[in-house]
Chains A and B, each alone.
Chain A
Amino acid sequence: MINSSIFGIAPPKLAYETIDEESPKSVQASPKEKITLFIEEAMEKASDALIKTGTPVRAGQKLTVYPGSKAYAVSPVSGEVESITPFTGIMEKQKTALTIRIGEVQDDGGDADPFEEVAKSPSMQVLLDYLATVPGKPDFSRLADDAEPIKTLLILGADSDLLTVTNQFVIKTAGDAIKNGVNALQKATSKRNINFLMAVPNHLIQVSGTAGVSAKGVSSVFPMAHPEMIALSVVGAEPAGKKDSVVFLSAEAVASIGRAFKDGRIPGDKQITFVGKDGSKKLVTAPVGTHVKDILEKVGATVKDGDRIIFGGPMTGVSIYSIDHPVEPDTDAIILQDKSQIVPSEDLACINCGQCVRVCPTHVPVNELVRYLDAGEYEQAAERAELDACIECGYCTYVCESRIPIFQHIRLAKYALERIKAAEENNA
């Protein structure tokens, strides 16, 4: 799992994974007993909660925990709610975890699926109300805000991290769904003048033609398919102080939107690239919420104490701590690492070798930055060492000779600064 070349005169080159098969196949995995869904909202003690233990759930039903709250999840299965627990994600992100025991639900013969009705006329409100948690996890927040100066909607057909082929698979196999999705999005944003663009790996430019959006080729060298790098090459650097004018949607998200409006049902099947301990990759389709252990069983992989399971790519993913962790709408890859493949971080100071500076795609002076971060001088880091220019690709940490967890430092600093800013705004 570790790439290292005997020659070191140039920085190590990492290449994105590509799908070679003409018509790739995906294995369908399904949850065994229960699924877990995350609702992006902190759990509160509320007597008027809409969902309690034992509440029946239908497949495709939108689940909101508290009256009036905007956050929701859509259950891909029927059953009843087994538990509602708080969950803390990376960088203290507060969520509510809903565990649903799969089972038959008595059809009360009552109201039909409310989405079926609204699916006939795509609009921004429908997208926001029903499709924010579809596989691919589209972020509509900026798109929905008319005050945002958005010029370009960039559909990401290139996978932003290594080893992952999820979006490429969608581009290859779901051209029609993407086309439908683009049509729906164009209708929903018709009031604004937004340019639709698609970024795909160079070798898929031909295939991507079916989507009906002009396509841009993306280099196969890491980290050129990182959304921010694509935006840089498509729209260029924007003058200081200007706000972002590009929004990103993954190809899978657009395909999910297309399927939703075509079928009148909210889709729940997530496309996943599974990479085993030996580095072999498999394409797996599983409903959002499926526990990892069910997927491991399906692909015949075993996990032992000390191994690492990564959600997302090897450079920017998140490692999880339980095999009961569910597939999330943005889990593009699940990677298994054996205990012996793990290179631990070390508690060493920066020796100023400059590897990080030479690989940084946005020219952040990482050697200076890491000194500010180490000292906890986060504001100085932002002012003097270009903390904000970091796109969080993880390349610096991959090459660090002292094995400093630079990426973690950077995330922590950005998070701390955000909190300071929020506190200042509250006090103002």
Chain B
Amino acid sequence: MPNRMKLTVSHAPFWHTGSSTSVKYYHIIGAAMLAVLFGLYQYGIPALAVLTMSVGSAMLWESLFNYLAKRPNTIQDGNAALIGLLFAMLLPAVTPWWVVVTGTFVAIVIGKQIYGGLGANPFNPVIVAYAMLLISWPVYLDFNAALVDYNFAFDPFYPMAAAKFQGAEMVEHFTISGMLMGQQVGGIGTGFGLGLIIGGAYLIARGFVRWEITISFLAGIFVTALLYNMSNPEVYAGPGFHLFSGMSLIGAIFLATEDSSSPVNFVPMLIYGALGGILTVLIRNIGVHVDGVIFAVLIISLVNPIVDKIRPKAKRRVMNYA
């Protein structure tokens, strides 16, 4: 045909919501900022060093791996930065630089890239890295030991350790409003409960995070902690304490909801979240580890492919196929 005009040709549909993976990750980074800024305020320059080291090295590992694997560079999608940021948020402010760099290497290369990169990771890369460090160098992740040189205006115990080793009596030092306002020792971005909740509410309202997982995770923590507390209030802390202390909120909002390692159907999301909450409290109350969120999320990611098989039946007559 004689006409030379070049029209754009592609397959239907010709509309798109405009959503994209990078928009999503930048929004999650933005939503985490409240808690991060509070961490900087509370822990000062050392926290800034850990954060920048973590984000920077995560992006570097991603870039380096892409180069070696001859894949297109994907650091601009924001996922590596998000992994670095979330990882730093879990760390004590004074973590040595080499621990941070090792952690981001594990997260990016072992947690994400060797499975094929974005979307192919069976576990949340942040969780994999943190769990690895927790087993390898527990001393650097012991909040009480790490933050001993700080002077806080509140009781400087890591609430999880206090509850575990000193019983429910110690827990009375922590009020829910205090923990919401960040009056607890912990990771750079895990302490400021209110900031995490505001960020989470934003992400849920915009659809970047699936509310089913967050809510059921928190419900799982609440119910399990309540049952323990009712059975023996002197030994086991109450549900309010468990909801707002340690990594509960960051786990429910930012860690358990990682797309690739969580289910997508309604009922599986509820099971996945609730199981995570229950396991968290079980590990905290009767397990060997101080906080249970990391290992709980690791375990529910294992069951994710199986529970996600629970899905509604496809609704349509079956055609005769070969």
* A interface list, Cβ under 8 A from B: 1-4, 6-10, 12, 162, 228, 232, 237-244, 293, 303-310, 312, 314-324, 335, 337, 339, 342-346, 348-355, 357-358, 361-365, 367, 382, 386, 388-389, 391, 394-395, 397-403, 405, 407-408, 411, 417, 420-421, 424
Contact = CB atoms under 8 A, between A and B. Distances in A.
Given A3-B17, A307-B8, A322 B314 contact: no
A323 B9 contact: no
Contacts of B116: 349
Interface of B: 1-3, 5-21, 24, 116-120, 204-208, 210-211, 259-260, 262-265, 311-322
Contacts of B9: 308, 319-321
- Mostly, the B contact residues are loop
Nearest to B120: A349
B186 to A, nearest CB: 29
- A-B interface, 3 closest residue pairs, ranked by CB to CB distance from nearest: A8-B207, A354-B264, A394-B13
11 contacts: A4-B19, A8-B206, A232-B316, A238-B317, A316-B12, A324-B3, A349-B117, A354-B210, A357-B311, A358-B264, A362-B315
Contacts of A309: 7
Given A305-B5, A398-B15, A399-B17, A388 B321 contact: yes
A317 B207 CA distance: 28
Contacts of B259: 351-354
Contacts of A1: 14-15
B321 A401 contact: no
B130 to A, nearest CB: 21
A324 B7 CA distance: 12
B264 A367 contact: yes
B269 to A, nearest CB: 8
Given A352-B260, A402-B21, A317 B314 contact: no
B314 to A, nearest CB: 4
A306 B1 contact: no
A232 B11 CA distance: 26
Contacts of B117: 349
A349 B15 contact: no
Contacts of A355: 19
B86 to A, nearest CB: 16
Given A8-B208, A365-B265, A407-B12, 11 more contacts: A3-B15, A9-B211, A319-B7, A319-B12, A348-B119, A357-B311, A358-B264, A362-B315, A365-B314, A420-B322, A421-B322
Contacts of A351: 21, 118-119, 259-260
B17 A361 contact: no
B144 to A, nearest CB: 37
Contacts of A394: 12-13
Nearest to A425: B322
B206 A2 contact: no
Given A407-B11, A420-B322, A323 B3 contact: yes
Among B8, B12, B210, B311, max chain A CB count under 10 A is at B12
A244 B12 contact: no
Contacts of A238: 317-318
Contacts of A304: 5
B22 to A, nearest CB: 10
B16 A335 contact: no
Given A303-B7, A323-B3, A7 B315 contact: no
Contact of A319 (B10, B19, B208): B10
Contacts of B316: 228, 232, 237, 362, 388-389, 391
B19 A324 contact: no
B15 A315 contact: yes
Contacts of A395: 13
A348 to B, nearest CB: 6
Nearest to A10: B207
B245 to A, nearest CB: 28
A345 B6 CA distance: 18
A398 B16 contact: yes
B260 to A, nearest CB: 5
A315 B13 CA distance: 4
Contact of B312 (A7, A293, A363): A363
Contact of B5 (A323, A352, A405): A323
A353 B257 CA distance: 10
Given A9-B207, A314-B14, A240 B318 contact: yes
Contacts of B206: 6-8
Contacts of B20: 346, 401-403
A398 B13 contact: yes
Given A9-B205, A308-B10, A345-B10, A403 B16 contact: yes
A319 B20 CA distance: 23
A7 B5 contact: no
A408 B318 CA distance: 21
A348 B10 contact: no
Contacts of B263: 354
